[in-house]
Amino acid sequence: LFTGRTMGAIAAGAAHSAALVASAEPPHEIECFTWGHNAAGQLGHQLDGGSAHGSPRAVPALSDLVDGGLSLLGPGERKSRAGPLACGVGHTALLSAKGALVTWGANHYGQCGLHRIGSTILPAVVHSPSAEEVVMVACGAAHTMMLDAQARPRPRARPARRSRRSPPPRAPRAP
């Protein structure tokens, strides 16, 4: 599947993975491939929600969603330890070439940074309160953090208030 292509970033969540891959032929279009567990839509595929995919599949319509497309190195061609791609327990996040944050998957605690609670299987651009370009993204179990060009961290989830009886988020079981 990836023969002759350049893999620029890879990330792994609890039971899913994602990779940014450039095509072998010019203009070297970059696609995001995901595979693994899909219970919360963390693969970004509209079909087969809730099932597992053992083979990588391209996340549809990302290049149409983000201005400037995707980059293997992240905004400004800067290499970083966190990179332009991250996976949480049940959500996925990536940065566009121009520093826009795109997320999808589990959003029960606001970890996708959207202005609503509940999972989303379609990638969505997260609108930042800062006009600064985002240069790094990282995901935890139920949160996402991004770092802007001024080295200021920007949380994209607020901890949900849980009752004493509500258990913390758990990693899904692998198929």
Parts of the chain with a pLDDT under 70: 47-50, 63, 66-83, 128-132, 152-175
For 164, the 3-state DSSP assignment is: coil
CB 138 within 8 A of CB 82: yes
Q: Specify the pTM.
A: 0.79
| Residue 80 confidence (pLDDT) | 40
- Residue 115, exposed/middle/buried by CB under 10 A (0-12, 13-18, 19+)? exposed
AA letter at 59:
V
DSSP letters of 90-145? SEEEEEBTTS-EEEEE--TTSTT--SS-S-EEEEEEEPPSS-SPEEEEEE-SS-EE
| Residue 164 confidence (pLDDT) | 44
| Residue 105 confidence (pLDDT) | 93
| Residue 43 confidence (pLDDT) | 93
